Amino acid sequence: MKKVFVETYGCQMNVYDTELVQTILTKNGYEAVKEETAADIVMLNTCSVRDNANRKIYNRVHEIRRGRKSPVLVGILGCMATNFKTDLLDNKALKIDFIAGPDSYKHLPRLISEASGGEKTFDVTLSEFETYSDIDPTRQTGPNAWIAIMRGCNNYCTFCVVPYTRGRERSRSPENIVEEVERLVANGYKQVTLLGQNVNSYSHEETSFTNLMDKVSQVKGIERIFFTSPHPKDFPTDLLKLMAERDNICKQIHMPLQAGSSRILKKMNRTYTKEEFLGLVDHIRSIMPDVHLSTDIILGFPTETDEEYMETEEVLKKVRFDTAFIFKYSERPNTTAERLFKDDVSEEQKKHRIIRLNAIQRDIRLEKNREKIGKDQEILVEKIGSRRDPNEIQARNEGNTVVILPSNKDISVGDLVMVKITDATPDVLRGEFV
Ligand code: 5AD
Ligand code: SF4
């Protein structure tokens, strides 16, 4: 049994982890294949941040098993592995051969070999030290390279499962990160995205996140730097000034608001009030007037009233984020919210709120995208071929918005070029080469 396939769910950290897993396995004699059906060992790198993730994975396991003539080993990796280990092992109808949590990927060769012997195996121990800094990921997702600079989370927002699935915060050394960026540049990469569950809580000995950004942006040849996902609590002025100063740091900030009511924010343990959040947005814009802001919102957190929901609406209208990812609250096992609060906002109310807020945000986004018509922007080419036309070019601007361009034989994936924006929908911009 030598051919492996990893299917990825969830966040960018999981995308990165799949790349780590591929390196670990190929170094140990396995061959990574591109099709699930061609593999002898199939792994699902799972997410458990919201609702139906489990059901989706259970269905997928059945689907993989069905219609297989030759035997296949099925493994569960990622956040569900830590959080649902017992469920996964006890479920008789579900045949899982091995389970590995986010800090156990170096043990995969052993787990797989034990599972090949017919034994169900697992390792979901969380580590305070594992950063995989000695593993060079097998990159496979186009011209952007993900780099995890820290892992884990110490914040304990009451709704969130991540501290339980991914453990305590730990950061890689700046030297090790800078070396990785230099290697990437040598291999032709122009864009990196620094990743962490709390990316701006990065801290390694004397090096803060601001110091790290300074070092990374000084690497010769790196032209675009993004980072995600930050927490609003860690945006010192020196970081914002550095972002404004450096051409290669993209003026894009993800600022997860979660809720507009200060009472709900307190219950969520977010450590800021509505007023503080709005003050921070003003401060950021005073330093970077053209910054692109995105956010995450949770609707229907326990006890959220209609009036409190309206405060979220009010903040969205005030800030006018470029993008908002809006979710219905979903109770997660083991979290403080699950233990202390009743999930008492009805599904109907949550649905009503999400439809309303998505419509408002769609209008804002369309307006903001239309403001860009006629402007020149620098884009990074990601793909040749759009949903509409195999020859159109798909790219991303500095605000991480998709820009579609007409076919052009002189352009290839990874090129950075100036374009003029000619049209806008809520989801994409269209442009032409200048
Ligand atoms: N219910 C709904 N949304 C959640 N998120 C995290 N946990 C939950 C939950 N229990 C959302 C948050 C977070 C994003 C990654 O997922 O908005 O920022
Ligand atoms: Fe999902 Fe959070 Fe785990 Fe990422 S860290 S895979 S978003 S639960």
What residue's CA is closest to ligand 1, atom 16? 49
- Whole-angstrom distance, CA of residue 92 vs CA of residue 98: 14
| d(CA 387, ligand 1 centre) in Å | 29
Query: 């020196």: which residue's tokens?
Result: 238
Regarding the beta carbon of 330 and ligand 1, being less than 6 Å apart is answered: yes
**Cβ–ligand 1 contact at 94 (below 6 Å):** no
Task: Using DSSP, state whether 264 is helix, strand or coil.
Answer: helix
Q: Whose CA is nearest to atom 6 of ligand 2?
A: 47
CB of residue 160 inside a 6 A radius of ligand 1: yes
Per-residue pLDDT of the chain in tens (434 residues, 90 and over written 9)? 599 999 999 999 999 999 999 999 999 999 999 999 999 999 999 999 987 777 889 999 999 998 788 889 999 999 999 988 888 888 888 889 999 999 999 999 999 999 999 889 999 999 999 999 999 999 986 899 999 999 999 999 999 999 999 999 999 999 999 999 999 999 999 999 999 999 999 999 999 999 999 999 999 999 999 999 999 999 999 999 999 999 999 999 999 999 999 999 999 999 999 999 999 999 999 999 999 999 999 999 999 999 999 999 999 999 999 999 999 999 999 999 999 999 999 999 999 999 999 999 999 999 999 999 999 999 999 999 888 888 999 999 999 999 999 999 999 999 999 999 999 999 999 999 99
CA of residue 341 to ligand 1 center, whole Å: 16
Q: Is the minimum distance from the CB of 239 to ligand 1 under 6 angstroms?
A: no
Q: Which string of b and e fits 111-138 if b means at least 16 CB within 10 Å?
A: bbebbbeeeebbbbebbeebbbbebebb
**Strands 3-8 and 170-171: what pairing?**
unpaired
CATH number 3.40.50.720 is the correct assignment for the domain at 376-433:
no
What is the spatial distance between Cα 405 and Cα 229, in angstroms, rounded to a whole number?
29
Model pTM score:
0.95
Nearest ligand 2 atom to alpha carbon 48: 8
121 lines ligand 1 (CB under 6 A): no
| C-alpha 389 to ligand 1 mean position (Å) | 35
Closest listed residue to residue 46, CA positions, set 95, 91, 82: 82
Q: Is there a contact between 396 and 407 (Cβ–Cβ < 8 Å)? A: no
**Domain range list for the chain:** 3-123, 376-433
- The CATH superfamily assigned to 3-123 is Methylthiotransferase, N-terminal domain (3.40.50.12160)
Give CA 262 to chain center in angstroms: 26
Note the pLDDT of residue 50.
87
> Which atom, in ligand 1's list, is nearest to the CA of 160?
7
Residue to substitute in 82, 157, 162, 169 for testing ligand 2 pocket (most ligand atoms within 8 angstroms of CB): 162
Full 3-state SS string of the chain = CCEEEEEECCCHHHHHHHHHHHHHHHHCCCEECCCHHHCCEEEEEECCCCCCHHHHHHHHHHHHHCCCCCCCEEEEEEHHHHHCHHHHHHCCCCCCCEEECCCCHHHHHHHHHHHHCCCCEEECCCCCCCCCCCCCCCCCCCCEEEEECEECCCCCCCCCCHHHHHCCCEECCHHHHHHHHHHHHHCCCCEEEEECCCHHHCEECCEEHHHHHHHHHCCCCCCEEEEECCCHHHCCHHHHHHHHHCCCECCEEECCCECCCHHHHHHHCCCCCHHHHHHHHHHHHHHCCCCEEEEEEEECCCCCCHHHHHHHHHHHHHHCCCEEEEEECCCCCCCHHHHHCCCCCCHHHHHHHHHHHHHHHHHHHHHHHHCCCCCEEEEEEEEECCCCCCCCEEEEECCCCEEEECCCCCCCCCCEEEEEEEEECCCEEEEEEC
pLDDT at 87: 86
Q: Which atom of ligand 2 is nearest to the CA of 53?
A: 1
Question: Ligand 2 center to residue 10 CA distance, Å?
Answer: 6
Partnered with residue 73 across adjacent β-strands are: 41
The closest residue, in CA terms, to atom 13 on ligand 1 is 296
Which of 11, 48, 160, 199, when mutated, tests ligand 1's pocket best, judged by the most ligand atoms within 8 Å of its CB? 160
CA of 332 to the centre of ligand 1 (A): 10
Alpha helices, H only, 305-346 = 306-319, 336-340
Query: Residue 87 to residues 90, 99, 238, 368, 419: CA-CA distances in angstroms?
Result: 5, 12, 46, 45, 51
Predicted pLDDT of residue 1: 59
Evaluate whether 3-123 and 376-433 have a shared fold.
Answer: no
- In one-letter notation, the amino acid at residue 97 is D
At 329, list the tokens: 């609250």
**Burial class of residue 247 in the structure, from the number of CB atoms within 10 Å of its CB (0-12 exposed, 13-18 middle, 19+ buried):** exposed
Ligand 1 pocket test, candidate residues 13, 50, 158, most atoms within 8 A of CB: 50
Q: Which ligand is nearest to the CA of 47?
A: 2
